[in-house]
Amino acid sequence: MSLSDPVAIILPFLFYIWLVLQIDRYEKEPYGWIIAVFFWGAIPATMLSMVTEIGLTIAIRPFFDQNTLTYINYGLITPIAEETFKGLAVVLMYFLVRREFDDWVDGIIYGSMAGFGFAVIEKLLQSSSVIDPEVWQENYLINIIAFGFAHAIYTAFIGIGFGIARLAPKQRTKWLAPLGGWLGAVLAHSAYDLGNFYGQSHGNQTLIWNAIAYLIPAGVMIYLIIRAIAYQKSRLRQYLPEEVPQTILESNYFALCGKKNNQQSRFQLQKPQPRKFIQLCGELAQRKEQLAKLGEQAKFSHDIEPLRQKIRALQSL
């Protein structure tokens, strides 16, 4: 592997990360936590997964023939180990940095970042063992360009599960939603890996079976991302109208919640204040939603007035 190969692998993932971060349009997550989750996926999750997969494979090898063992490895051991250890980043964010984990949109962000971190290291390790340039290019086009979102999609399901639990008033949902997200991640991952193995063992049909196993969860995730963007906008329209005009100028409210894309040119604010204004308004709507759905147990009611004061200060109200 030449020095240019890691750069060629990492650059597409940087673009993928940028794309995913655009989902969170109104209440951006702190970059420090995004980087921390990414590196959890890249280092601890990768190492723990490798040790677990090797250990379990060695432990069960005496009981199965090689073909069965391969199916178990692809269908159970690998997806369960990898999604569990990648998902631990989401679990840690949910319990230890709860104030930065607000809903299922945040779950997509944090789950994807852990998945991208894992994928980068996995692709670097896989590419380091390939000598033939043609094989390297083929693997690059398939595994990084065509299916580069795979690990991010799987772990994003775990994030969505914890995000649903975050705003769930019922205790049962708080347990079932994360479990459902984890099961969805494992099943999607298992289908892809089994498709990979089945394709290789049946006339090199890997691309066909991988595409089938990849496009279904990818389609679900695209639908959820579209819903996430619409959900964020609807939250602003639901919880911010009562802030006009005492906290938010009417013109700035319509610039924020209007249908036109060219928002900043219509804000009555000087650059770079519109970006800060959007962030604060997103946080205010989010805190009000949490208060409405969870009541005082959310412990966010004391954040609302300081947010209002910051918004007024930006507009000189």
pLDDT above 90 coverage of the chain, percent: 66
Together in a domain, 130 and 10: yes
Out of 196, 231, 266, pick the residue that ends a domain: 231
Q: How confident is the model at residue 144 (pLDDT cuts 50, 70, 90)?
A: very high
DSSP state of 167: T
Domain count for the chain: 2
| Cα(148)–Cα(177) distance, integer angstroms | 26
Kindly report, residue by residue over 287-312, the tens digit of the pLDDT.
999 888 888 765 677 889 999 999 99
Which pair of tokens denotes residue 36? 């921390």
Distance, in Å, from the CA atom of 193 to the CA atom of 78, rounded to the nearest integer, reads: 8
Same structural domain for residues 251 and 126?
A: no
Task: Give the model's pLDDT for residue 204.
Answer: 65
The answer to whether 313 touches 61, Cβ cutoff 8 Å, is: no
Look at residue 210 in the predicted model and tell me its pLDDT: 81
Verify that 22 and 59 share a domain, yes or no: yes
Between these two residues, 292 and 1, which has the higher pLDDT value? 292
Compute the radius of gyration of the chain from its Cα atoms: 22
Boundaries of domain holding 307: 240-315
pLDDT tens digits, 19-70:
999 998 888 899 999 999 999 999 999 999 999 999 999 999 999 999 899 9
Q: What pLDDT score was predicted for residue 279?
A: 92
Confidence grade of residue 264 (pLDDT, cut at 50, 70, 90)? very low
Tokens of 252: 């700035």
Are residue 202 and residue 260 in the same domain, yes or no? no
Question: What is the pLDDT at residue 205?
Answer: 64
Counting Cα atoms < 13 Å in the Cβ hemisphere of 13 gives 27
Is 165 in the same domain as 122?
yes
Tell me the pLDDT tens digit for each residue of 173-221.
999 999 999 999 999 999 999 988 877 776 666 678 788 889 999 999 9
Final residue in a domain of this structure, among 210, 231, 252: 231
Mark whether 28 and 110 lie in a shared domain. yes
Same structural domain, 153 and 225: yes
Summarize the confidence of residues 265-284 as an average pLDDT.
84
Note the pLDDT of residue 297: 63
Token reading at 315? 């507009």
Instruction: Examine the domain organization and report whether 216 and 272 are in the same domain.
Output: no
Mean pLDDT of the region 232-250: 94
